[in-house]
Structure 1
Amino acid sequence: MRPPSLLSYCQCRHTLLKPSSEPWITLVNLSFRRHRSGGNSKNNKWSNKSEERWRLTNKSEERWRLTNNSEERWRRPTNNSEERWRRPTNNSEERWRRPTNNPEERWKRPTNNSEERWRPTNPRTPFPNARRPSPLVYDIPKIDPNNIPAFFEVHVKQWSRQRSLPSRLLSFGIQKDEIKPLLDAFVHAVTAGELSTSEGHHTYVLSRFTHHLDDGDPLHAIDAIYTTILYTWASETAHSERLRSAGISQSTINRIRALAEAGDRLFPAEEFPDARKFHRKIIMHVGPTNSGKTHNALRALAAAATGVYAGPLRLLAHEIWERLNLETDTAPDVATASRPTNPKYVRPCNMRTGEEQRIVDEYAPLTSCTVEMLGLRKEYDVAVIDEIQMLNDPDRGGAWTIAVLGVCAKEVHLCGEETAVPVVEALLRDTGDEIIINRYQRLSPLYVQEESLNGDWSRVKKGDCVVTFARSNIFKVKSAIEAQTPLRCAVVYGRLPPEIRSEQAALFNDPNSGYDVLIGSDAIGMGLNLKIRRVIFEATSKYHGTRDAPLSISQTKQIAGRAGRYGLHGNDQPGGYVTALLPDDISHIQKAVDAIPTPLKTARIGISSTSFFAFSLALPPNSSTKTILSAYYYISRIPAILRQQKINLKYVEPLCNFIDARMANMPARDTIMFLLAPIPLRDVAALEVVQKFLRAYQDEMSVDLWEHLEGSSLVAALDGVERLHAEDNTESVTSVMIAQLESLHRAVMIYMWMTFRRPMAWHCVKEVAVLKLRLEKALDWGLRALTKLQPGKDWERYVKDHREKAKGAVIYTRQRSALEKYLDLAQAESVAAPIDGASATEPCRH
């Protein structure tokens, strides 16, 4: 029996249950609590028929026991004087009750249903003082870096017994009757110490055990590491005879070898032979925000005969493209809109993003692009890769890793945080490249104000930027500020097209525009040049699909650092200020600003079209797209400094199912193209349109734009906004209309994304460009029209709620209310759906 500290419990109605053992969860140095939904699951092996069941109370030494005596339902086995439950009378209608001296009544008689005797007011548990079921909770394993083999050998048997492993190996092509012999042979070899030699430590990359357990899911990481080692070991010729003697067929051994070869990426730099021909000079510009690091890199780019800029956002690529075509640069990090241009510094520059290309000159020497669109075969004199710390980003970090390893440039400038220096040095250790590190200090001071706004929007001033993390909140805050102050607000957030975001930023930067306050999402933290005097955090947590999570120190620093940009405030006192709407958030901001950056441990690497194609050939015929992605994650052998880019199979599964169902015969190259496309899987309205496009591509190899847009409610919304614009009817504009225009814009950008890759099939190039311009014009006018709206009851309730929380009336926890969830579905006209997770990056990924 497990020790009490590792026991977990749950209840089903009145029956108390005890879980059976699950060896994989009882890792040494790990503490887990797992609960399951009920006793009807076929996988649930918890006994419902035991004559005696136990329930652990809040005191680990005390337990309640159910006896077989029908007259004595519950009894206290100890002599504790406190009696939690008792049998009060012989009255059959009153089975149980709380002690009368407790004012809180937890039990009630709900109905006359004989099957439902009693139930709690809180339906989660009938026991108010009992430990409640909770999701999986674990501690990150503490593995001694100097004694990794001990952990590896001790836990291999537990790993081999986990329930999900056989089904996974079966999907990878191992016969059902061969799974157990294969695992037994592997376990025997590991426990005998055959893989723990100095040579084995390098061959099987055992150091991954100490590097890959800090992303919130250590069990998943350990599972992947063990699976990779299994395939690497079983693919070696020296072990073939042992496997055959254990009953493993030669065909299975051949499949294991093919999969291991497909996943061999131990030396990723060798995947870019063109870049290895160069002796590159890598110049790192590292420091905090507002330190001039990007400015120095851009000066080198502007002076180069040929060069490329690669950034994280379409908006940044657009901004650099605009600056280079208007003038070079005369002051560090000064927004283009804030100063005149000088024709003598003009350098022709083209722009390439996943959804758009702007060709100024076919032979332009400079290019501005997003990182995913960086050409790795073209040679440059200078390349600038911005926000280099994003190579550790779980969702997009692979693009930065590929850019660092594969860009063909004589001089490569990497701009970003100092935390990325160790990882970059490790990545380039075997390439022969020269690395120079330039460190910068902030050009103007940053102050964290001791006092918050105390929930009062009337205290917002000219030059303030309010940062919030849901689109619904952006318009709520905008309306509240404009109702309580004479100020007008511009808005910047991830779902807006880059042209509209640029125009909104220009309005805020222009002191004579009448737009004195900026309301933005975390999009403002990614290098936008804005005349922000003070940053106000509406909250310091962000919704991530299922829960609110606090902002990381890096995110908080980056957003806060946008205050007081050097050179943007003229003769005013230099420096920027940071505060929060509510007092409770000040401490988090102060801690983040004062924190010493923690160096990154790993970079990310994503799946390539070559790897995808290799796995599709090595796996059994007709394997699903999801199986191919799973095999890549579990089998690929990578160095310890790298980690697999996060593949959210739950998020990608609808697209995988659609591809398998509708595009079963599609070539692997097209499959990986669709998987990498920025398809808006969380935008239901846009996804419906995109699915029509994809069906037409599969069935006819020709996608007519208007054929699949006619009759759409999104097009009707565009027509409606254009009609209101013609009538100058600003009062009828709603944020739901704006959300519909944004959804249509995302679908249109997917079509444009495809025109650059399959122009013969996605042939409506002129039509999609015209529609894009119509949408951007309607969005621009619609956002301006919303500024004139007066706040309704929802806004007043929002402001009142914030004020009550600021006064300490309730504990402030940012949870989505039922109203917000209702509005997220665009069923009301007051707000629209929240920004997608990673909203500042997702619209511009490729």
Structure 2
Amino acid sequence: MKVFYKLKEWEKIRQKYNDKGAVKRREEKLMKKFNKWDKKCELYERKVREYKDVKREENRGVISWVKDILGVKGEEEEIPLPDNLKPFYSYSPKPRKPDFTLLDATDPNLRKLTPLEKKVLKNSSKTTSLLSQIKSEWSESYSQYLLSTHGPSFTKAALIKATSDLTSPSSLYPLPRLSHRKITYHSGPTNSGKTYNALLALKSAPTGMYLGPLRLLALEVYEELTSSGVYCSLITGQERRNVPFSTHVSATVEMARMEEFDVVVIDEIQLLGDEERGAGWTRAFMGVECKEVHVCGGGEGVERVRRMAEECGDDFEVVEYERFNELKVEEGPLNKNKDYKTGVREGDAIVAFSKNDIFAIRREIEENTEFKCCVIYGALPPESRAQQAKLFNDPSSDYKVLVASDAVGLGLNLNIGRVVFHTMFKGGRNVEILNHSLVKQIAGRAGRRNSVYKHGAVTCRRKEDMRHLRKMLETDITPIERAGLLPNVQHVEAFADVTGIESMSELFSQFTSAAQVSRGYFLCRQEAISKAASMADTLENLKVTEKFTLCIAPFNESDEMAKGLVMGFAEALQRGRPYGLDVKIPEGRVKTFEDLGHLCALHHLIDLYLWLSQRFEVADNALETATAMRRKRVLLGMITEALEGGEGALKLKHDYNKMDERYRARWRKLQRERQGRDRGGKGERRFLPNRGTGKGEASARGPASRNQKQRRFARGKKRQDAAVS
């Protein structure tokens, strides 16, 4: 049997047994010997598995293997086969090219094995060892060839892989990994006291830091700690209040300080799964250097945070909380008329998802009832939202009803007795129905602890929405499976040095393509940063770090005013001169809804300018910053006056009923289109006939022709369009 395990004797065997009958008899005789040998082999199954693993790797091909190492894409090279391996491939029954290459040898379809050879390879453990030896020699010869011709490529590929490696986010923060932290997850719904208990631990600590999702929350904690006699500084993207000898810091998540503290509180930890801002929570959780980390959030984030704590080597503990007051769903809607002329009571919070709807609802309530309304929505400045919330919570004020957007569901402590959903649909062109997470977040605001309301209540304006409301409140929130990541400035700078790419858009595109991310993570803000990077390519004489900072600035690329501000600031940065903010405050009183929107847009521009000023140190910029702060205070006063101007202060022509009907019709249309795609295949809308009526069915002579199907499709589409209109 040794003849079958020596490569140089394979050809002799094939020449000796040219006769088919002799070959067959010889094969049968050898197979008996092999079967007898296999029965005596105790490690047969393990060897077969080893052979399959080797064969699987062999079929991949060495070219593909090297391409995976290099991480590059391109045409395969024609590499000569090493001389010591050529005899093994000289028995191929197929005609070969004169220049037999390694690429040819890796082709699994090139080498055709005889039945005897297949049996030998399948059953013989020694053949498995032989294949392993050949694989080793093959790889060694090929590696020597690559090192002599592609040495720099190996070095560059390794550097690219290292600078874009995000598979272990915890290793990006080495200092916290030197200590053993204690992670306490305060898990519970809204109005359960989880944040309150975490703040108690923060107050009692010698040093500490609070990290929240909003400036309003950071400001609220700053004021609470200060009133308790704790020296605390405030740090947000637009404002810094550095208190001398302060031991505590209250900041937004993105402004987290990577310093040593005793206790750190991270609020709304479930937002680490957010597609836009999730990276801020991941960075804060893994990067803060402290003894204790208290994270507050819903139960959907427990398992994700637990796995992240295990990656960091920290202790993990969960503290469960229950809601203080019961949340009840009312039996019926607000009233039978689907309006706000009746049924509204003190402590109500009407939740709508359009600024036009919010002001139209406010106007109707103030014209038909005795109540005055506060308004809160996302486009309002944070200071204005805080002022409106304070006015609503004040028992001595005349403002007893709140009309707000979904911004009310996060960050604000409000004395709400009942939440009324204006609609269950949200969005513009692509309408979506409210999911269970958002419904629970908003509805949970009713019945705050220590308020005058013994329990919270929730209802809808329309009767047909009540079923969806109950269903969403009974549905368990889906656990968070992935946490957001975002490359920092050091990542981008190192990647640019290795690749030599100067274009910011190409650099970020190459980074996202080469980035390696673990299964439990994802990259945030890819689309937004890519659009901003295209804008940054027009700027010259700026460092890569400066361009990347401009790309992550908080502005919408479709906002021409904000885009012009960023470009103007960047051009001034190139010249090394301060940028003068050109914001003209309109004169006179705000009369229309459009005027109020313009004031809010100007306020956002000033916030964006202050954000840029804090991240770029420009000489002689203090005067411009002070001017921007003064204009900001003037705008806030005008916005407050417009919101509290009384009945008829803002002129608005809007019918919320018509808008709601359009949303519902659009939703029904989208649902039919989705069902059509599911039934008829991708990109095809298909209308199924009614069974039993005979209408639209195929004739008894056979299946419907193609023209008949097209006519049915046209009729169904016409009926659908008529129903929608």
Q: 1:666 corresponds to which residue?
A: 542
C-alpha deviations, 1:407-447, integer Å up to 9, x for none? 11111100001111111111121433111110001111111
Structure 1 counterpart of 2:247, from 365, 374, 380: 365
RMSD between aligned alpha carbons? 3.7
Q: 2:353 corresponds to which residue?
A: 469
> 1:488·1:787 contact (CA, 8 Å) conserved in 2?
no
Q: 1:644 corresponds to which residue?
A: 523
> 2:592·2:650 contact (CA, 8 Å) conserved in 1?
no
Q: 2:470 corresponds to which residue?
A: 590
> 2:377·2:406 contact (CA, 8 Å) conserved in 1?
yes
Structure 1 residues 505 and 179, CA gap change in structure 2 (3 angstroms): farther
One-letter amino acid of the structure 2 residue matched with residue 311 of structure 1:
G
Q: 2:450 corresponds to which residue?
A: 567
> 1:467·1:521 contact (CA, 8 Å) conserved in 2?
yes
> 2:209·2:249 contact (CA, 8 Å) conserved in 1?
yes
Q: 1:84 corresponds to which residue?
A: none
One-letter amino acid of the structure 1 residue matched with residue 253 of structure 2:
V
Identity across aligned pairs (percent)?
A: 32
Q: 1:752 corresponds to which residue?
A: 610
Q: 2:687 corresponds to which residue?
A: none
Distance 2:546 2:594 in 1: 34
User: Does 1:513 pair with 2:397?
Assistant: yes
Structure 1 residues 633 and 240, CA gap change in structure 2 (3 angstroms): farther
One-letter amino acid of the structure 1 residue matched with residue 508 of structure 2:
L
Correspondence list, 1:16-27, <5 A: none
Distance 1:583 1:647 in 2: 41
C-alpha displacement of 1:757: 2.2
C-alpha displacement of 1:518: 1.1
Correspondence list, 1:623-638, <5 A: 624-638=503-517
Structure 1 residues 579 and 697, CA gap change in structure 2 (3 angstroms): same
Q: Which SS does the other structure have where 1:705 is aligned?
A: coil
User: Does 1:656 pair with 2:533?
Assistant: yes
C-alpha displacement of 1:578: 1.3
Structure 1 residues 801 and 637, CA gap change in structure 2 (3 angstroms): closer
Q: Which SS does the other structure have where 2:517 is aligned?
A: coil
Correspondence list, 1:501-540, <5 A: 501-540=385-424
Distance 2:449 2:368 in 1: 30
C-alpha deviations, 1:500-529, integer Å up to 9, x for none? 111100111112211111121221111310
> 1:173·1:252 contact (CA, 8 Å) conserved in 2?
no
> 1:285·1:293 contact (CA, 8 Å) conserved in 2?
yes
Instruction: Kindly indicate which of the two structures has a greater share of residues assigned to helix.
Output: 2
TM-score by length of 1: 0.60
> 1:705·1:768 contact (CA, 8 Å) conserved in 2?
no
Structure 2 counterpart of 1:456, from 339, 342, 350: 339
Count of matched residue positions in the alignment of Structure 1 and Structure 2: 557
C-alpha displacement of 1:704: 3.2
Structure 2 counterpart of 1:257, from 158, 161, 168: 158
> 2:378·2:405 contact (CA, 8 Å) conserved in 1?
yes
User: Does 1:497 pair with 2:389?
Assistant: no
Q: 1:422 corresponds to which residue?
A: 303
> 2:593·2:650 contact (CA, 8 Å) conserved in 1?
no
Structure 1 counterpart of 2:586, from 719, 738, 742: 719
C-alpha displacement of 1:397: 0.7
> 1:311·1:387 contact (CA, 8 Å) conserved in 2?
yes
> 1:325·1:346 contact (CA, 8 Å) conserved in 2?
yes
One-letter amino acid of the structure 1 residue matched with residue 226 of structure 2:
N
Q: Which SS does the other structure have where 2:615 is aligned?
A: coil
Q: 1:479 corresponds to which residue?
A: 363
One-letter amino acid of the structure 1 residue matched with residue 551 of structure 2:
L
> 2:193·2:321 contact (CA, 8 Å) conserved in 1?
yes
Distance 1:307 1:370 in 2: 14
> 1:291·1:441 contact (CA, 8 Å) conserved in 2?
yes
User: Does 1:734 pair with 2:592?
Assistant: yes
Q: 1:837 corresponds to which residue?
A: none
User: Does 1:689 pair with 2:571?
Assistant: no
Distance 1:476 1:425 in 2: 46
Structure 2: runs of 5+ lacking an equivalent: 1-51, 61-66, 80-101, 110-137, 671-725
C-alpha displacement of 1:736: 1.4
C-alpha deviations, 1:221-248, integer Å up to 9, x for none? xxxxxxxxxxxxxxxx979937977999
Q: Which SS does the other structure have where 2:538 is aligned?
A: helix
> 1:173·1:620 contact (CA, 8 Å) conserved in 2?
no
C-alpha displacement of 1:679: 2.5
Q: Which SS does the other structure have where 1:288 is aligned?
A: coil
C-alpha deviations, 1:50-103, integer Å up to 9, x for none? xxxxxxxxxxxxxxxxxxxxxxxxxxxxxxxxxxxxxxxxxxxxxxxxxxxxxx
Structure 1 residues 654 and 645, CA gap change in structure 2 (3 angstroms): closer
Distance 1:179 1:742 in 2: 60
Q: 2:628 corresponds to which residue?
A: 768
Q: Which SS does the other structure have where 1:517 is aligned?
A: strand
Structure 1 residues 365 and 392, CA gap change in structure 2 (3 angstroms): same
Structure 1 counterpart of 2:256, from 343, 349, 374: 374
Q: 1:826 corresponds to which residue?
A: none
Structure 1 counterpart of 2:485, from 580, 601, 605: 605
C-alpha displacement of 1:735: 1.7
Structure 1: runs of 5+ lacking an equivalent: 1-148, 158-165, 193-236, 327-344, 725-731, 817-846
User: Does 1:779 pair with 2:639?
Assistant: yes
C-alpha deviations, 1:438-465, integer Å up to 9, x for none? 0001111111223223521123222111
User: Does 1:284 pair with 2:167?
Assistant: no
Structure 2 counterpart of 1:408, from 289, 305, 328: 289
One-letter amino acid of the structure 2 residue matched with residue 647 of structure 1:
Q
Q: 1:226 corresponds to which residue?
A: none
Structure 1 residues 739 and 262, CA gap change in structure 2 (3 angstroms): same
Distance 2:552 2:141 in 1: 37
> 2:351·2:421 contact (CA, 8 Å) conserved in 1?
yes
Structure showing greater radius of gyration is 2
Moved more, 467-476 or 403-412: 467-476
> 2:439·2:472 contact (CA, 8 Å) conserved in 1?
yes
C-alpha deviations, 1:650-695, integer Å up to 9, x for none? x444422221112x33112212211222134343333333332222
One-letter amino acid of the structure 1 residue matched with residue 420 of structure 2:
I
C-alpha deviations, 1:780-834, integer Å up to 9, x for none? 1122126543765x33x334665x799xxx8584999xxxxxxxxxxxxxxxxxx
Distance 1:615 1:487 in 2: 59
Q: 2:22 corresponds to which residue?
A: none
Distance 2:140 2:419 in 1: 62
Structure 2 counterpart of 1:703, from 578, 603, 611: 578
User: Does 1:743 pair with 2:590?
Assistant: no
